[in-house]
Amino acid sequence: MRDYYPAEQVRAAEAPLLAALPEGTLMRRAAHGLELVVASELRSRTGGVAGRRVTLLVGSGDNGGDALWAGAMLRRRGVAVRAVLLDPDRAHAAGLAALRAAGGRVARGSEADLGDPDLVLDGIVGLSGRGPLRPPAAALVRRVAAPIVAVDLPSGVDPDTGEAPGPAVTAQVTVAFGALKPVHALAAAHCGRVELVDIGLAPGEASVRALTASEVGARWPVPGASDDKYTQGVVGVVAGSARYPGAGVLCAGAAVTATSGMVRYAGTAAAQVLSRWPEVVAADCVEDAGRVQAWVVGPGAGTGESAAAQLRAVLGTDLPVLVDADGLTLLAADPGLVAGRSAPTLLTPHAGEFARLAGVDPAADRVGHTRRLAADWGVTVLLKGRCTVIARPDGQVLLNDAAGSAAATPGSGDVLAGMVGALTASGLDLAMAAAMGARAHSLAANLAAGERSVTAAPISAGALLSQVRAAVRILRAQQVPKP
pLDDT per residue rounded down to tens, the chain (483 residues): 999 999 999 999 999 999 999 999 999 999 999 999 999 999 999 999 999 999 999 999 899 999 999 999 999 999 999 999 999 999 999 999 999 999 999 999 999 999 999 999 999 998 888 899 999 999 999 999 999 999 999 999 999 999 999 999 999 999 999 999 999 999 999 999 999 999 999 999 999 999 999 999 999 999 888 888 888 999 999 999 999 999 999 999 999 999 989 999 999 999 999 999 999 999 999 999 999 999 999 999 999 999 999 999 999 999 999 999 999 999 999 999 998 899 999 999 999 999 999 999 999 999 999 999 999 999 999 999 999 999 999 999 999 999 888 899 999 999 999 999 999 999 999 999 999 999 999 999 999 998 444 445 679 999 999 999 999 999 999 865 543
| 394 annotated as belonging to a binding site for a ligand | no
| 386 annotated as belonging to a binding site for a ligand | yes
| 59 annotated as belonging to a binding site for a ligand | no
| 128 annotated as belonging to a binding site for a ligand | yes
| 152 annotated as belonging to a binding site for a ligand | yes
| 191 annotated as belonging to a binding site for a ligand | no
Q: Which amino acid is at 156?
A: G
Contact 63, 86 (CB under 8 A): no
| 65 annotated as belonging to a binding site for a ligand | yes
| 21 annotated as belonging to a binding site for a ligand | no
| 350 annotated as belonging to a binding site for a ligand | yes
| 64 annotated as belonging to a binding site for a ligand | yes
Which pLDDT does position 450 carry in this prediction? 84
Provide the 3-class DSSP secondary structure of residue 454: coil
Torsion over CA of 310, 314, 315 and 317, rounded to 10 degrees? 140
| 159 annotated as belonging to a binding site for a ligand | no
| 453 annotated as belonging to a binding site for a ligand | no
Which pLDDT does position 5 carry in this prediction? 98
| 62 annotated as belonging to a binding site for a ligand | yes
Contact 399, 366 (CB under 8 A): no
| 300 annotated as belonging to a binding site for a ligand | yes
For residue 474, the cross-strand partners are none
| 129 annotated as belonging to a binding site for a ligand | yes
pTM score, whole prediction: 0.94
Which pLDDT does position 104 carry in this prediction? 98
For residue 196, the cross-strand partners are 176
| 132 annotated as belonging to a binding site for a ligand | yes
Q: CA–CA distance from 434 to each of 68, 269, 416, 422, 429 (Å)?
A: 43, 25, 9, 10, 9
| 385 annotated as belonging to a binding site for a ligand | yes
Phi–psi pair at 18, nearest 5 degrees: -65, -35
Domains of the chain: 2-206 (3.40.50.10260), 213-477 (3.40.1190.20)
Angle, helices 430-449 vs 412-425, to 10°: value is 140
Quickly list DSSP for 337-390.
Answer: GTTT--S-EEE---HHHHHHHHSS-GGG-HHHHHHHHHHHHTSEEEE-SSEEEE
| 204 annotated as belonging to a binding site for a ligand | no
| 437 annotated as belonging to a binding site for a ligand | no
